[in-house]
Every structure is written in structure tokens, then in C-alpha cells.
Amino acid sequence: MVSAYLYRMYNTARKKPVLLVLIIAGVIFAINSVLKLDTPAIQFNERNEAVIRGMTQLILLVCADYAFAVGFRSGVLGVSLPDVTYHLAGPYSKRFNLIMSFGYGLSSIGFFVWFLTANTSVLAMWIGFNTHDYYVLFGQSVLAMAIMFLFTSYISAAFPESIKARVIAVGGLLLLHAGIMVLVIRDLILTFGSWAEVKVQNPLVLIDHIGNSRWMATIPVVGWNFMPDLNWVLIMLEIVFVLVLLVLYGITEFDFYETAGANAQKIADIVEASKAGVEAVNTGISRTATVGKEVYDKGWGANAFFWQHLFQNRRESKLFFVNKVALIYRVFALLILLVSGSVLEEKLLVVVMGVATMMVLNAIVYGGGKIVFEFNRPYFFMVPEKPGTKFASCLLADLPEMAFDALLCTIIIKIPSGASFGIFSMICFFIMMVAFDMVSQTLGIICVRLLRNFGKMVLMFVRYIVIIILMLVGMTMSYFATEAVGALITTDDMILGVMIGSMGLAFVLIWLAMIPLAVKIITKADVNW
Amino acid sequence: MLTVNGVTKKYKKFLANDNLSFTIADGEIGILLGPNGAGKSTIIKSIAGLLRYEGDIEINGIDNHELEAKKMLGYIPEMPALYDTLTIDEHLEFVRRAYKVEDTGIKEKLLERFELTDKRKKMGKELSKGMQQKVSICCALIHDPKVVIFDEPMVGLDPHAIKELKALFQELKAEGKTVLISTHMIDTIEDYWDVAHIMMNGKIAATKHNRPGSADEKSLDELFFQITEGSAAASTAAKKSEEEEA
């Protein structure tokens, strides 16, 4: 059974020669980086043993946490649909299939180790990290990561449907980290006298104190096997931990197939959705939809598409006008603007930065849209209505989401920019954002229909290039409009309003021009499902 | 009437349909028979206006891309493509509204006929393949089309639905409608067809009319296997049918 698995892996790898070459080149680069660590050319800072030990310990902690996180991808989340068909339903034991599901996590860990290795020259230049230190770090990190990975993989496979088990494991780790952080800070304050004194210390001094803190030894695995301070009690504890884990793997009756199968389908849907340019979160939402008392009774002819999509959006969430992906980005944007607002004295610049940030983020959020799935079904093509009207009906179904998002963006920019962003410019910005979202969405659909067979990367690349060009068109129009009415402008609000409003007008015109093009592309391209 | 005239469809270098021409008259049931990859689904999708092709396709004398032609066409795809979060009821309601069909009770009749009444509140994502196929059939018939094309309609259906579907074919024929059915399952075709086109490598290799009394002609089975597998298979099929008759 191992050879069957390896044969499949071999054939998959054989079909990706470029990836293989990249991996080999990456490994050679990493080995070369390690062997060059002792070269005087990069060892230009004095070596500090204590700092190196502290740094190694902190890196080990990060490695172990990473392996802890990816371990949950094993078992219930580690199989694909072909795995379900050929392995889970095949003549293999559950334990073997569990090990087979380690693939994703182990490749992630492999990449992480490579990244760490390839960047050790930075440590060499900074603190005098040498090849021997790397071997110590490598050996310990592999050990720590293997144990942590096996630990969470076990939880994932032994409690496939228990969110509680995961919460307990993650919560326990977080609590441990938080507890150690408090204790370490307490020690630092005791050592340096006050928190203010701690803050002014050289970062290397702090790395030394934190990494070599006595509390580090309380962290399972990571703190137990730290080589320079080998403590036989801790080593025994680690061995017992590993043995218990192995016994658990041996005696547990794993029952994760059903959950793994369902998740494999979900992941396949997400992959398919991402190929179509749709953010993964959108695919997940429809899984939570349930039938309630709502009634679908609106629409006639082409606009039946609008009401149908609106109805589906409302069924999927009571807050159908909230795009959850956009919401995450909004938090991110708010943080950027709050920091910028506190640094930049010129509030006009904060608004300009806010507008740019929102546009860049929304090019991602609305770059595909759920509407793209409509063209995977026959109804759009079969219903005897004008294609342009049907297309516009579909696009407008996302308007409530875009309007709410634009409103949120307006408020977020208003917070750090104050009076500079007045009513006039706020209204202009709101309209501009909705128009820009429409342009992004339409462009996303065009790209998916035209470039679907070229793969996700090409699709995204082309889409971003075009969106940047369209943004430049908008900015050019904004420049000319501001120049034209410059003499009449008296306030910041008016300047911004004219700038943003003219850009919005450009996007409205671009969008209107894109609709016939999009319709032509959609109706002329073959439909395959 | 459905007219296909000189239709050629290429996928890059692969010729899926090679200069296909055939006509199915009003009140006729046409069958497209052929092994997997013969080009049946391609011509069906071309008729539905879902693919680009060279040649002409007309629905009652109107180009199939025209809105008037679309109003007269019903299409049941091989793979049902329903909306995840719409119920069976809502699917039919959506299609009815999109086609601007007044609510005359046809929805209820279709639901009842295909035993979907008790499952009308189930969403697309909750349905089995067979159930989805039934919904797909109902959606295609709700606007009372003059020409109906079925792409492998029996796949995934339960015996009752297959029986209903066969009865439906006869009813559509009796109402003077044009029916085209694509299938590779020769066993499912009984004596309800009027004309059968056997496809092979994107071409129509043979056409057979269902004329009672023409005993000297080869049976559909024989003709099919002769074309797809050669004369040895055809004689086996002939022997088998003789045995069955005996």
C-alpha cells in the first residue's frame, strides 16, 4: 500500500517538472546558505553565546507553534476527493490513511524549515549565528515540530467532529503562552527595575533574557529538549510524552472518514470557487443556509435574476448586505489609517491614503463575486431575455453589499481625517467606491470567462494589471477635473470631492462600457460544466 | 421543428461535431445514439446555444440564438446545475418568472408527476443526483416549450421517474412537440422513437427510421453495434434479439 501511495506521488511530481526544479534549486540554495554561515564576510558582528541561545529558543517556540497549527490539517482536513475515493474507500487501514493525510502539513512544515534555513544568514550577520548553531536549531526544531504535529494530528483524527477538543488544545496552548509571557515580563521588571526601563533596553538584551528565561523550560517539548541545558528529568518527561502519544495512536479506534469526506468536498468547492476568482469564505456561507419563512415571489423576465440572487443572499445571512471578507479587510484598513492619522499632520494625505487603501483592498474583495457561478448554469443562457439586461440584473444583486461596504469605508476614512473629509467629499467617495466595486466585479467575471483555462495565477495577475490601469485612468480624469475647476475650489472638502467624484465618474463610464463587452464575452464563450 | 444544418464544432484540434445535419419534425421523437465521446452532448449544447459552432441551427425556422427561438426551447442538461440555496419550489418559481409564464398550476402538476411535492422545501444542495435531474426536467418544461432536448435524461433516475419520463416523451409527441434525446444507453430506448441518428467520431454514421413492418431492415441494436464495434458484435446482437423474440 505504501508503494501505491508513492507511485501516485511520483506521478503527480513527474507532471510538475518546474516545481521539482524549483524545489531542488531551493534546497541547494538553503544548503549553500548554511555552509556559508561561518564565512567572515557575513560574520561581521561579535558573537554572543547567550543571545544565540535565547534566539534559538524563541525560534524553536515559533516552529513548534507552527507545527501545532498545521497538525490540525491532518485526518479530517488532510484528504482530497481522490484520496477519499482511492484511499479512504480503498484497502488501507485507518492508521495508514491517517499517515497519508499528513502530506499537506508535512509539506507546509518542510517549506517553513526551508524558509528558516534560507534566512539564517540574517542571524549570522546580526548575532554571529554559525553553522554549528544551525545544526542545533535544525535538530531540535525537527524534533519539536514532529512531536507537536503528531499531537494535533491525533486530536484532529481522534475527535473529528469535536470543536471542543480543538478549542481545549488551542486554548491550553494560548493560556500557557500568556502565562509564560506574564511571568517573563515580571522577571524583566524585577531585573531592570521598571517597565519603562525594560522598554529602553537593547532588543538583543531582551532576547537573551526572554529566550533563556527559566520559564521557557515549562513549555512542553520546546523547553524540555533544549540541548545546551540538557536536564534529564525534562528529557525523560519528553520521552514519556512521545511514548504516550505513540500508545494513543496504537489503541485509538479512529473514525474520521465521514468528516474527512465531507471536508474534502468542501475543500474541492473552495478550490473550484477560488479558480473562479471567488473568495473562499463565500463558498462556506451557503453551507449554513436554511429554509425559513421567507417567500420568493418577485421578479419578472430578466429581473428575476436580480431578485433570485438577492433572495439567496438573504437566505444565506440575515446580514445579507455584509460581505464578511470585506469586513476583515476593513479592520485592517482602519488600523492602517489610525496609525497614519497619528503620524501624518496633513489630514488631506490621510484621506488620499484611505481612498487608495480601500480601492486596493476592494480590488481583491470584489474581484470575482458570487455572480460568476451564475454562468456555470444554463438558465442565464436559456432565458429568452436580452443578455445585457440579464447580466446587469445579476450584477446589481450585490449592490446592497457594495453600498454597505462603501458606507463603512466612508466612516473609516472619516475617523482619522476629521473635518477635511466633509459631507461633499463623503458622498462623492461613497459613489466612487460603489462604481469601483462594480468595475472590479465585472472585470473579475470577464477575466474568469476569458482566462479560466490559464490557471488562477495568470487570472489574478492579469486582473490586477488591468485594475491598476483602470485606477490610473480614474486618477488621470481626477487630475484634469481638479485642474479645470481649480480656481473655484476653496475648501479641502471641495478639493477632495472634485478629485474623488471625477474618479467615480470615470469608473461609472468604464463600467457602462464594460457591460456590453462582458456580455459579448460571456455569451460567446463556450459553457462547460 | 428542429433543423441542424452543417454544424461543425472544434475544441482546438479535436473535431467534436463534423458537419452534422439532421431534422426532427413536429410531433417526432429523435434519438441521438452513440458511445461516450461520439459528440452527442456537444450537438445538444450547440442546439441549446451554449457553444460556439459553425453552421446553422433553427428552432421552428428561427435561429437558435434569437429570443423567439429560446422561448420555444426546453433543455435538460446531462449534469443538473441547480442553485445551492433555492428550494425545488423556488427553482420552478424562478424559471417561471424568468420565462414570464403565468401561474396556471403547471408547477404543481410537474411537482406531483415527478413525486417532488413532499420535497418541495428541500434546497438544491440537499438533493441527490436523481432528484436534481427531476427538478431540472421540471424547470425545462414549465414554460411549455415547442422543442425539448434531453441530454442523457435517464442517468440517476429511479424506476418511477424513468417510467414517467417515457410517458412524458409520448405525451410531448402527441401534443405535436419536437423531442430530441441524447443517450448512450441503447437498452433504455423502447419503441417510442421516430428517428434515430447513430453518432460516431463526431459524425452521423447511420440514420434509422422507426417504420413498423419493415422486417428486412436491421434492428437498432444491430445497426448500433455494427457501427460502433464491427460486424461480429452486430451478429451477436442479432442473435440475442432473435433469442429474445423466441
Phi, psi of A440 (to 5 degrees): -60, -45
Contact call for B48 and A291, based on CB within 8 A: no
Cell 436523481 belongs to: B130
Residues of B in contact with A383 (CB under 8 A): 70, 95, 98-99
User: Does the pLDDT of residue B224 top 90, yes or no?
Assistant: no
Alpha helices for A73-222 (secondary structure H): 81-83, 94-100, 103-118, 120-127, 131-158, 163-192, 195-199, 203-211
Contact call for A529 and B85, based on CB within 8 A: no
Query: What mean pLDDT do residues A212-236 have?
Result: 75
| pLDDT given at position B108 | 92
DSSP secondary structure string for all residues of A222-275: TTTS-GGG--HHHHHHHHHHHHHHHHHHHH-----HHHHHHHHHHHHHHHHHHH
| Distance in Å, alpha carbon of A389 to nearest chain B alpha carbon | 12
Establish, for the pair of chains A and B, how many residue pairs have beta carbons separated by less than 8 Å. Answer: 86
The amino acid occupying position B177 is K
User: Does the pLDDT of residue A366 top 70, yes or no?
Assistant: yes
Residues of A in contact with B84 (CB under 8 A): 286, 289, 312
Query: What mean pLDDT do residues A331-339 have?
Result: 79
Query: What mean pLDDT do residues A424-438 have?
Result: 94
The angle at the Cα of A280, spanning A279 to A285, to the nearest 5 degrees, equals 105
Helix (H, G, I), strand (E, B) or coil at B85: coil
Q: Are A368 and A448 in contact (CB under 8 A)?
A: yes
Chain B interface disruption, residue of A382, A519, A520, A523, most B CBs within 10 A: A382
| pLDDT given at position B211 | 77
| Distance in Å, alpha carbon of A11 to nearest chain B alpha carbon | 26
Contact call for A526 and B50, based on CB within 8 A: yes
The rounded mean pLDDT for chain A is: 84
Q: Closest partner residue to A526 among B52, B77, B85, by Cβ? A: B52
Contact call for B90 and A383, based on CB within 8 A: no
* A202-206, A367-371, A412-416: least confident range: A367-371
**Percent of chain A whose pLDDT exceeds 90:** 24
Residue of A nearest to B77 (CA): A378
Contact call for B48 and A382, based on CB within 8 A: yes
User: Does the pLDDT of residue A456 top 70, yes or no?
Assistant: no
Query: What mean pLDDT do residues A336-345 have?
Result: 72
Query: What DSSP element (H or E) covers A513?
Result: helix A492-524
- Residues A76 and A65: their CA atoms lie apart, in Å, by 20
Contact call for A381 and B49, based on CB within 8 A: yes
Q: Are A277 and A452 in contact (CB under 8 A)?
A: no
| pLDDT given at position A33 | 87
Residues of B in contact with A379 (CB under 8 A): 94-95, 98, 139
* A173-177, A339-343, A418-422: least confident range: A339-343
| Distance in Å, alpha carbon of A526 to nearest chain B alpha carbon | 4
User: Does the pLDDT of residue A476 top 80, yes or no?
Assistant: yes
DSSP annotation of B219: P
Nearest-Å Rg of the Cα atoms of chain B is 19
Residues with Cβ within 8 Å of A62's Cβ and at least 6 positions away in sequence, in order, are none
| Distance in Å, alpha carbon of B139 to nearest chain A alpha carbon | 9
**Structure confidence by residue, pLDDT tens digits, A243-255:** 999 999 999 988 8
Confidence of residue A486 (pLDDT cuts 50, 70, 90): confident
| Distance in Å, alpha carbon of A15 to nearest chain B alpha carbon | 22
Contact call for B93 and A296, based on CB within 8 A: yes
Chain A interface disruption, residue of B14, B85, B136, most A CBs within 10 A: B85
User: Does the pLDDT of residue B231 top 80, yes or no?
Assistant: no
Contact call for B83 and A378, based on CB within 8 A: no
Residue of A nearest to B41 (CA): A528
| Distance in Å, alpha carbon of A210 to nearest chain B alpha carbon | 52
**Structure confidence by residue, pLDDT tens digits, A509-527:** 999 999 999 888 887 766 6
The distance of Cα A110 from the centroid of its chain, to the nearest Å, equals 19
**Structure confidence by residue, pLDDT tens digits, A169-187:** 999 999 998 999 899 999 9
Q: Closest partner residue to B90 among A296, A383, A384, by Cβ? A: A296
| pLDDT given at position A444 | 86
- Residues B188 and B198: their CA atoms lie apart, in Å, by 15
Cell matching residue A328? 476583515
Query: What mean pLDDT do residues B42-71 have?
Result: 92
Residues of B in contact with A270 (CB under 8 A): none
| pLDDT given at position A280 | 40
| pLDDT given at position A282 | 42
Between A12 and B168, the more confident residue is: B168
Between B26 and A352, the more confident residue is: B26
Query: What mean pLDDT do residues A117-128 have?
Result: 86
Confidence of residue A281 (pLDDT cuts 50, 70, 90): very low
Cell matching residue A256? 474520521
Query: What mean pLDDT do residues B80-88 have?
Result: 89
Number of alpha carbons in the 13 Å side-chain half-sphere of residue A456: 11
User: Does the pLDDT of residue B181 top 90, yes or no?
Assistant: yes
Helix (H, G, I), strand (E, B) or coil at B101: coil
Between B41 and A369, the more confident residue is: B41
User: Does the pLDDT of residue B172 top 50, yes or no?
Assistant: yes
Query: What mean pLDDT do residues B82-104 have?
Result: 93
User: Does the pLDDT of residue B235 top 70, yes or no?
Assistant: no
**Percent of chain A whose pLDDT exceeds 70:** 91
| pLDDT given at position B175 | 93
The rounded mean pLDDT for chain B is: 88
Confidence of residue A502 (pLDDT cuts 50, 70, 90): very high
Q: Closest partner residue to A299 among B77, B97, B125, by Cβ? A: B97
Confidence of residue A368 (pLDDT cuts 50, 70, 90): low
Confidence of residue A271 (pLDDT cuts 50, 70, 90): low
Confidence of residue A267 (pLDDT cuts 50, 70, 90): confident
Query: What mean pLDDT do residues B203-225 have?
Result: 81
Distance from the first to the final alpha carbon of chain A: 34
User: Does the pLDDT of residue B96 top 80, yes or no?
Assistant: yes
User: Does the pLDDT of residue A235 top 60, yes or no?
Assistant: yes
| pLDDT given at position A279 | 45
Residue of B nearest to A311 (CA): B86
| pLDDT given at position B61 | 94
